[in-house]
Amino acid sequence: MERREFLVASAATAAAVALPKDAGAEQPVIPHYAGRKILIAGGGFNTAYIRLMAQLTGKPRPRICYLPTASADSPSGTITFFRNCSPLNVEPFAQNSFIESLSQKQGWDEVLLSMDGIVVSGGNTLNQQAIWKAQGIDVVLKEAWDRGIVLGGASAGSLCWFEEGTTDSRPKALSIVKCLGFIKGSHSPHYDAEAGRRPLYHKLIGSGEMKPGYACDNDAGIYFEETEPKRFVTTRDAAKVYHVSATGGVVNERAFAVERIN
């Protein structure tokens, strides 16, 4: 295969792509936690995050699948994912959700449970959750998590793992969305990138309408083992991660020290 040539998955299939190995981009096999793992970012799940996800799998050439349900299987998002994978020693795949059975010959479990990591796209979280539940993808993702397959993503791909959070999935204004609940509490992505995110998150947590939780600026993220945060990371020095809670209606926002990943 020519260098950088790849095959993007169609709307009906999960496509495997044989990207060339780059000796300078070999992924070290690091000691890894064998249990349940989630890696999120508030926005911008780029090459640095995919590299970290690959390391967390403990595999020398992990199989990483892109799940673009929230973006309505946007081809441009899938292409960007493959481009982000191209410097890495990973085997990238894409699994669309808008499929039909004549072409989609494997079940959701056959595809997703064969992976070492799953990256969920950004987009409309409310629609993503509805489609996953209708198709049974939510059940398969829970099994993937229980098996130690590394889950992750940014925006809708970070919000989806929590019990609830703030979303722009409905018309007119930011609102609350209920999600998978793998990680207890709430989440706000894009904390520094969209003006309405921080004040709404404070308001909802301060009033008790939303559970305490974690807010991530774009480019900043959290690695969870089971449901506990183990690392706070960033690809941009100014980007931060926060825990937001309330006591007696008074909101407390605590920033974490973050480590730079590349």
| Domains, the chain | 33-260 (3.40.50.880)
pLDDT in tens, 182-240: 999 999 999 999 888 999 999 999 999 999 999 999 999 999 999 999 999 999 999 99
pLDDT score of 22: 42
Q: Please give the pLDDT value at position 2.
A: 34
Distance CA 193, CA 27 (A): 31
Which residues are 259's β-sheet partners? Answer: 233
Name the helix (H) or strand (E) containing 229.
Answer: strand 228-234
Q: Return the pLDDT at 24.
A: 39
Closest CA relative to residue 216, chosen from 94, 80, 49, 81: 49
Report, as residue numbers or ranges, the catalytic residues.
155, 190
Element (H, E) at 185: strand 183-188
